Chain A
Amino acid sequence: KAGVTQTPRYLIKTRGQQVTLSCSPISGHRSVSWYQQTPGQGLQFLFEYFSETQRNKGNFPGRFSGRQFSNSRSEMNVSTLELGDSALYLCASSVNFWRAENTEAFFGQGTRLTVV
């Protein structure tokens, strides 16, 4: 069974540009969550999508957005990139929307975004 696939693995963008990251969950998984990982802030929750609907959102500015398609694949978009957006972006998939008692989240290997 294929794991969670994130593309691209590495990305370099210039300040002010926008970027789109992709996450393909494990087959049969309907929930996709996104996290930002930086040395300073650690791992922070961005948002969760389930059945093409955003269920939860972390404390990030509106420049960060996402969507989920009918095949459960998810994309995350960051507009007007800032230097501080440089981070590892991880996505995690689970069978159902997040409820701790029935969820194990499987993570992808992440996309390393560098903003210059």
Chain B
Amino acid sequence: AQTVTQSQPEMSVQEAETVTLSCTYDTSESDYYLFWYKQPPSRQMILVIRQEAYKQQNATENRFSVNFQKAAKSFSLKISDSQLGDAAMYFCASPPGGSQGNLIFGKGTKLSVKP
């Protein structure tokens, strides 16, 4: 079964600093997308960034960027200039592949931002 692994249950960063959240995945697909979602205390999952596996260029969305290493099946999220509002659970997700759509999520990383 396809898996998504986030090895850091909790992370902490100082406001304005940079933090990197790790994610590894396992897929037999050659063409796929990877996602990072943010879940604040309000519980609503919000898409942070999406990476297309066939694109070598790492995706970037304002202060959020990814380091995508396809061969290593690694997909880390870098948050620059961390803000208090970035404090949340962060989930890495990938589709299971084949005809089974939708998303498989990692266990999540709880990010705290210190003022």
Binding site for B on A (CB under 8 A): 33, 35, 42-45, 48, 55-56, 58, 88, 90, 92, 97-101, 104-110, 112
Is chain A's interface secondary structure helix, strand, loop, or mixed overall? Answer: strand
- Determine whether the beta carbon of A107 is less than 8 Å from that of B103: no
Binding site for A on B (CB under 8 A): 32-33, 37, 42-47, 50, 52, 91, 93, 95, 100-108
- Determine whether the beta carbon of B44 is less than 8 Å from that of A105: no
B55: min CB distance to chain A, Å: 11
In the bound complex, CA of A56 to CA of B95 (Å): 12
**Given A43-B93, A43-B105, 20 other A-B residues pairs in contact with their CB atoms under 8 A:** A33-B102, A42-B107, A48-B101, A48-B102, A56-B101, A56-B102, A90-B43, A92-B45, A98-B95, A98-B101, A99-B101, A100-B33, A100-B101, A101-B52, A105-B47, A105-B103, A107-B46, A110-B43, A110-B44, A112-B43
Residue of B nearest to A110 (CB): B43
> Assuming A42-B106, A42-B108, A100-B33, is B101 touching A109 (CB within 8 A)?
no
| B52 CB contacts on chain A under 8 angstroms | 101
Is chain B's interface secondary structure helix, strand, loop, or mixed overall? Answer: loop
In the bound complex, CA of A33 to CA of B103 (Å): 10
Most buried by B among A42, A48, A88, A108: A42
- Determine whether the beta carbon of A97 is less than 8 Å from that of B101: yes
- Determine whether the beta carbon of B102 is less than 8 Å from that of A45: yes
| B37 CB contacts on chain A under 8 angstroms | 107
Contact among B91, B100, B107 with A56 in the assembled complex (CB-CB below 8 Å): B100
In the bound complex, CA of A43 to CA of B94 (Å): 12
Contact among B46, B91, B102, B107 with A98 in the assembled complex (CB-CB below 8 Å): B102
> Assuming A104-B47, A104-B50, is B101 touching A43 (CB within 8 A)?
no
Complex A-B: 12 CB contacts under 8 Å: A42-B105, A42-B106, A43-B93, A43-B103, A56-B100, A56-B102, A98-B101, A100-B32, A100-B95, A105-B103, A106-B47, A107-B45
